[in-house]
Structure 1
């Protein structure tokens, strides 16, 4: 038995060695360096011309090999790439491979099958599409899976893939307007390339933004906006993509003259467009018209639309509608059953998605309008985002969030027929690809999508490594930045990739990812350094305030201002500046108002905030001016004590910055947008950092309290603070409603007898106020007397 086991072990070991040594030799590939393209005459134009052009141009860029299209079946030994419809039986006398499987996705709309066939005459790679788009998306699959560089053009074989999309609507908004942080700087050629890239990853719709943006032309426009709208329509026609337009009414529709002028503007645009499929009218974002005026207007729009585009559809969103207006809309549908309306668009500010699908009659479609472009003050704020990022990267940084958006899409998609995303620039490129690919196949893994993204845009040797690097960048944003040592590891990883791949230096997607790696690391190093300086300054204030308050303040300011006079990691900042300039040159990304003429500081101007203070030196400087104006040393000393002990109230006492992921350990709630930087003074607020983040009704749990001690709760914020301890409303002893002022309550000793309390706040009724005027709470202390 022992001998038999040894023989068995030897045989298995030899077999393993054979596999390991001969595996690469046994791997089968299709070499396409000498391949020719054939296209079935049944493939309709313009796809008959577009698909082979996409395939040959994208391959030539990466390999230098130009695949030629031929109309005759080549002689034996030459590899063929054949584009045919599923209805074709033969091509140039060669039989199209039959699919004997029970499920045949290539027969469904937009579906395709990719199959390799080798016989005595050579190898054929068949791209079999259900229709024109099936040919397009099948071509995209080939490009995403090819191994391409200057020495290699091959595809692993055998191939037999058949697939069709899970959702029929997969689109992205590309608004040629000054509000965008990059699109407004693009040429027609750049738009075509970007639309092509999206189509390769399964996108079938592009949405433009006409009309009301024309009054604010961008200094970056290469051609007038009206001309670009028509050019994008032409591109969509060539690629057989749906062309949507987002067309709000910012006028009062009850004004007959303005209403007619709006209709005339619509008709002129419809007439000029070679392709137009859908009109999306946002109900109340922007616009304030009642649906009783909107619905007849949309009916008139549809009448004009079908004159030039007979199959085009009209959509509406209920964004911004109040309860009465929403009810009116559904009553209108029940009474009129409008056939001219295709469906409803769900976006930020709409009634709940499940409710919308439930109330919407089944004959109408429901399309999602997800905001995949912003990080704060938005539909999908970054969860647990550190304030240091929110203050510097802002709303429109390079923001790959593949795993988060895969979850968000999975939660919403079953209620919908698909999506067209809201986007204001190329910085969310990976998010676009993620949404498109997952809408095609909800079971496709995030990592596989990132692999295909990396292989196609960065080259096959980086398939895994770049995908891993993108995933690491998403983790950079998870939780307290100071505690996230993975940021440095991610930076080292990307630095290694950067050094090893100098040819990618001009690739704008590569530049975006490098910018994030450098920016995240620079921000973390600044955070640790600058907050360390503040800790030292607070110690000086605490030690010296009673001796010489004015000297103590001068010394403290000199310490915190070393962030400016002796900055950390200047080489990282120099690289950030360089990458921002590179991105402006390569893709028109405007990361600065003064340097790149961005529309506004909130529109991706991360370069302008790269050194925004991550300690409270601006606030301290302003407070010290107030302290110096106090009449007595005793008053100065008392205020300096409050400043120096702000976050360290002493043994037995507790402090929480209620919206900080690192400085609010007792806070149990996370607001819908917990790092909602209030954006005062165009992002250059000099207020204390904690006051720039807030919640309206936080919940805190305190434990290990002294049953014999008396406690006071102190709150800093704005407006009302309706406090309860263990469910009982307390009356305040100090109550100031002005911004950054103090409120205080005495905690009943009966509440602390068990060594713990729960603190909650009732939310005041302020629905009539703009969110900036809502009450807010930023800092909470439980002070032991």
Structure 2
């Protein structure tokens, strides 16, 4: 018989996913759980969590013994260090040989010969985290409880703050649809992965009071959230922005104080209050800290040990504001807990650490939920994804989240993430694992995630599938053929998945993204080709006649809608969106699921055009109405040559990474992951008053559609300079610079070339295109260095396009206001 050669990758997959695990595990399906001197409620809760989670995943309810005994059953022993004196020497000695553990730490040890697993916490919290780790490593399937034979861990968290914000408010993409039971389930999941803090929000924020999804008033739900957290021994934080109109008048202050009495009294447990300096809110530091002093008095009436934390968030930052803020921070208020570093803080965390007293702790508030217009946007994101996935899509970014975490980890005592729903579920788990131990490999976290939440049969497939989804976002989409491979991986998992896995919201999220990404990839290929065909047709306007060319070009572009590509993939996305609404309350569309516009409703943008069809159609319809053939042909040529700088000229679309080679890089991302001192990709048109709109749309110039290039920019934050260098210009010629100022927010921008003023501060946001002569003295060496800066207090510089034009070349008339 001829030997059959099995590819190594198949062998590896089988071993890592199944055979290897079974060969190296011990069967605890008929074991009992014993709690050793578990007098505290939290230790007892840890035992109950262990029993319940094993029963949920294996259908086996292990009995709980009130004390350890010598009967013949395998045992899982849960206890606290210092309370194990009654254990036999055979169990105690192996524990003493393990590394020491500290607060909230645990020791896990499987002793196969004794058929015993030990879960020993340094304290009561440690028992709960030890149970969580055991559940993550156990192989739990119907009728079977297997524990790795080599299980031996001694672990203490590096950071004392490890948590996530779970706001019960309409602005979130799922939390407002949660029931009390769902919050209990989700908080338990986070605790099992090491979280020790949950941040809730008051009923009044920068949001509506209620939504159609809420099953109870927010004031009642936050009481339930606090109660749930207390049952798991988890710290309760509250994010409480200053939403009042006046914090100086006594009547207005009393309204705010009365509200805080009602809110603080409502919650059983509140360990810390986080008040942002801004975003939202707009107080001077003097008024802010006078107000916080009053807030602390109210807080301590109901929660005497709670501390007040504050962030230097401010929309229009100035040196005067920050100097006053840090002066207050260093005064030593007795109610003050620490400083929070989050979105829209101009001061890098390294500088904050230098400006405040060494004893003052810093807590990070990372935005893990948004992909653009955020603290940590996807680096150099493809415009097609920005248009369709948008700001708040399902966004597993495990490697990038670890990178961001570890870049600044040394400056803080941990983090409580900014989250707007379940879309960032993978990112939450990664942050909790990194806050516990920054050395934890991402793949280990993902395998635990897949094994525990979806099932041991999906450990490797889902873990690698989540990594593949992150890789889908890497670089230009047009050439990323790996997107289709990612879909094939998830389809293979989908094909074998039983109904309970297909109904699992975590599996549904990964599967939806795989279909969505592949659909956008195929659409981008298709629509890019259609646009090129339309351009080819229009270049033949002289032969075909302008009216015929225009009509044929428009029909060609319309094929994207009339004959769509891969409609079955779109249909699967819509079905999965409905499934997620059913399984977890995820609101991925406005009409069908009741999402808030510009939030998690990325399914609404699934068919947004990925080429310049909107601008093309807008232009061609106007050209069609011109009075004669000559004018129409001339206008068509002008349109097609919009970006042409002419012979000897230069053109850069700064939304495209290919044009970034001329841009001065700034700080390395390892030291500046939030681009506080380095350029970043940005999105949005920002014309005609379109400020703070999160959708990436090409509409915004007096109601007309704009070129797609205007939706994508390079940007710097605040008054950090944006710099570009052009070389190999002809020093004997004269040049002009044409620039497109578009972007999410209007700013006052100034341009210099080689330190020579080209234009003083211009308020962007209405007129997109400006053109200026380049000073002749700047051209003597054939090289120019362009610098843009904003005025103090501005949000940043945004440039979408730039042309360097030789002045002796005839220019066409570009898209402009009629």
| TM-score scaled by length of structure 2 | 0.85
Q: How does 1:585-600 map to 2 (within 5 A)?
A: 585-600=582-597
Mapped contact 1:723–1:759 kept (Cα < 8 A): no
Q: What displacement does 1:228 show?
A: 0.5
Q: Structure 2: how far apart are the matches of 1:41 and 1:438?
A: 31
Greater CA drift, 558-567 or 345-354: 345-354
- Specify which of 763, 769, 780 is matched with residue 741 of structure 1: 769
Higher alpha-carbon deviation: 691-700 or 174-183? 691-700
Partner of 2:675: none
Question: Who is 2:306 aligned against?
Answer: 312
State the shift of 1:536 in Å. 0.8
**1:508: which partner in 2?**
505
- Of residues 207, 220, 236 in structure 2, which corresponds to 1:243? 236
Distance of aligned partners of 1:731 and 1:764 in 2 relative to their CA distance in 1, 3 Å threshold: closer
Q: 1:403 and 1:25 mapped to 2: Cα distance?
A: 25
Which of 15, 29, 32 is the matching residue for 1:33? 29
Pair 1:271–1:651, CA change in 2 (3 A): same
1:328 match: secondary structure:
helix
2:43·2:125 contact (CA, 8 Å) conserved in 1? Answer: no
From the superposition, tell whether residues 706 and 305 of structure 1 become closer, same or farther in structure 2 (CA, over 3 Å). Answer: closer
Residues 217, 722 of structure 1: alpha-carbon distance in 2 compared, 3 angstrom cutoff: closer
1:633-673 per-position Cα deviation (integer Å, ceiling 9, x unaligned) = 33322221122234566776554211123576765659744
Question: Residue 259 of structure 1 corresponds to which residue in structure 2?
Answer: 253
| Correspondence list, 1:588-667, <5 A | 588-600=585-597, 602-646=598-642, 654-661=650-657
Match of 1:3 in 2: none
How big is the shift at 1:714? 4.1
Q: 1:677 aligns with which of 684, 697, 708?
A: 684
Q: Post-superposition shift, 1:724?
A: 6.3
> Which position in structure 2 is the counterpart of 1:5?
none
Taking a change above 3 Å as real, the CA distance of residues 362 and 97 of structure 1, as seen in their structure-2 partners, is: same
Match of 1:528 among 525, 530, 538: 525
Q: Tell whether the 8 Å contact from 1:726 to 1:759 is kept in structure 2 after alignment.
A: yes
Q: Quick one: which of 207, 215, 227 aligns to 1:222?
A: 215
Query: What is the aligned counterpart of 1:567 among 560, 564, 567?
Result: 564
1:619 is paired with a residue of what secondary structure?
helix
Q: Which runs of 5+ in 2 are unaligned?
A: 1-14, 667-677, 700-704, 716-720, 810-818
Q: Secondary structure at the match of 2:713?
A: coil
**Structure 2 counterparts to residues 768-783 of structure 1, below 5 A:** 776-780=799-803
Q: Is residue 201–residue 436 contact of structure 1 (8 Å, CA) maintained in 2?
A: yes
Higher mean C-alpha displacement, 579-588 vs 621-630: 621-630
Paired residue for 1:89? 84
**Partner Cα separation in structure 2 for residue 36 and residue 434 of structure 1:** 32
Q: Does 1:137 align with 2:129?
A: yes
For 1:493 and 1:325, the matched residues in 2 are separated by 52
Residues in 2 aligned to 1:300 and 1:720: alpha-carbon distance in whole angstroms? 37
Q: Which runs of 5+ in 1 are unaligned?
A: 1-18
Range with greater deviation from structure 2 (25-34 or 170-179): 25-34
Is the alpha carbon distance of 1:547 and 1:26 closer, same or farther for their aligned partners in structure 2, counting shifts above 3 Å? closer
**1:576-591 equivalences in 2 (<5 Å):** 576-591=573-588
Aligned-partner SS, 1:378: coil
CA deviation after TM superposition for structure 1 residue 344, in Å: 0.9
Give, in angstroms, the shift of residue 85 of structure 1: 0.6
1:16-165 alignment to 2 at 5 Å? 27-45=23-41, 47-74=42-69, 76-90=71-85, 97-98=92-93, 104-106=99-101, 108-118=102-112, 122-165=114-157
Q: CA RMSD in A?
A: 3.2
Q: Any residues of structure 2 matched to 1:290-329 within 5 Å, and which?
A: 290-320=284-314, 322-329=318-325
Q: Distance in 2 between matches of 1:747 and 1:532?
A: 41
**Partner SS state of residue 345, structure 1:** strand
- In the alignment, is residue 446 of structure 1 matched against residue 442 of structure 2? yes
C-alpha separation in 2, matches of 1:25 and 1:173: 35
Are 1:669 and 1:698, in contact at CA under 8 Å, matched by a contact in 2?
A: no
Deviation at 1:553, TM superposition (A): 1.4
1-structure distance, mates of 2:577, 2:591: 13
Given that 1:699 and 1:758 are in contact with CA atoms closer than 8 Å, whether structure 2 keeps it comes out as no
Render the CA deviation track for 1:319-338: whole Å, top value 9, x for unaligned: 11643333233333555x22
Secondary structure of residue in 1 paired with 2:243:
coil
Q: Cα 1:594–1:761, aligned 2, differ >3 Å: closer, same or farther?
A: farther
Pairwise CA distance, 1:500: 2.3
Cα offset for 1:310? 2.7
Match of 1:540, SS?
A: helix
Separation of aligned partners in 2, 1:333 and 1:711: 51
Give me the TM-score of the superposition, normalised by structure 1: 0.89
Assess, with a 3 A threshold, how the Cα gap between structure 1 residues 701 and 395 changes in structure 2: closer, same or farther.
Answer: same
* CA pair 698-606 structure 1, distance change in 2 beyond 3 A: same
The alpha-carbon distance between structure 1 residues 116 and 597, as it changes in their structure 2 partners (threshold 3 A), is: same
SS of the aligned residue for 2:212 comes to coil
For residues 507-554 of structure 1, give each alpha carbon's deviation from its aligned partner in whole angstroms, at most 9, with x where no partner exists: 111111111111111111111111111111111111115752222211
Per-residue CA distance 1:416-463 (angstroms, 9 max, x = gap) = 111111000111011111111011111111111111111111222222
* 2-structure distance, mates of 1:418, 1:731: 45
Q: Report Cα offsets for 1:355-392 as digits up to 9, x if no partner.
A: 21122223321111111111111110100100000011
State whether residues 174 and 206 of structure 1, in contact with CA within 8 Å, keep that contact through their aligned partners in structure 2: yes
SS state at 1:128 partner: strand
- Per-residue CA deviation, residues 84-113 of structure 1 (Å, 9 max, x unaligned), is 11011245878862467687443x110111
Q: Is 1:204 matched up with 2:196? A: yes
Find the partner of 2:433 among 431, 437, 446. Answer: 437
CA contact (8 A) 2:778 2:784 kept: no
Q: Which residue of 2 aligns with 1:231?
A: 224
Query: Which of 384-393 and 154-163 deviates more?
Result: 154-163
- Aligned-partner Cα distance in 2 for 1:114–1:721: 59
Q: Which residue of 1 aligns with 2:673?
A: none
Distance 1:578 1:781, change over 3 A: farther
Residues 189/737 of structure 1: CA separation in 2 closer, same or farther (3 Å cut): closer
Alpha-carbon spacing, 1:780–1:531, altered in 2? closer, same or farther (3 Å): farther
Find the aligned partners of 2:337 and 2:759 in 1 and give their Cα distance: 55
Q: 1:259 to 1:95 in 2, by over 3 A?
A: farther
1:93-141, Cα deviation, whole Å (9 max, x unpaired): 78862467687443x110111122355xx42211111111101100001
Residue equivalent to 2:343: 348
Partner of residue 269 from structure 2, selected from 256, 265, 275? 275
1:565-621 deviation per Cα after TM superposition (whole angstroms, max 9, x unaligned)? 111111111111111111111111111112211122x10211111010111111111
SS in 2 for 1:109: coil
8 A contact 2:226–2:270 mirrored in 1: yes
> Which residue does the alignment assign to 1:166?
158
Q: Is the 8 A contact 2:711 2:800 kept in 1?
A: no
Given that residues 197 and 234 in structure 2 are in contact (C-alpha distance below 8 angstroms), is that contact kept between their aligned partners in structure 1?
Answer: yes
* CA separation of 1:677 and 1:765: change in aligned 2, threshold 3 A: closer
Relative to structure 2, which stretch is displaced further, 221-230 or 702-711?
702-711
CA distance, structure 2, for counterparts of residue 102 and residue 311 of structure 1 = 38
Tell me, what secondary structure is at the counterpart of 1:496?
helix
Deviations along 1:762-783, whole A, 9 cap, x unmatched?
Answer: 3244445566xx6634353657
Residue 194 (structure 2) pairs with residue 175 (structure 1): no
CA distance in 2, matches of 1:148, 1:678: 51
Seen in structure 2, the aligned counterparts of structure 1 residues 38 and 96 have a Cα distance that, compared at 3 Å, is same
Counterpart-to-counterpart distance in 1, 2:696 and 2:294: 43
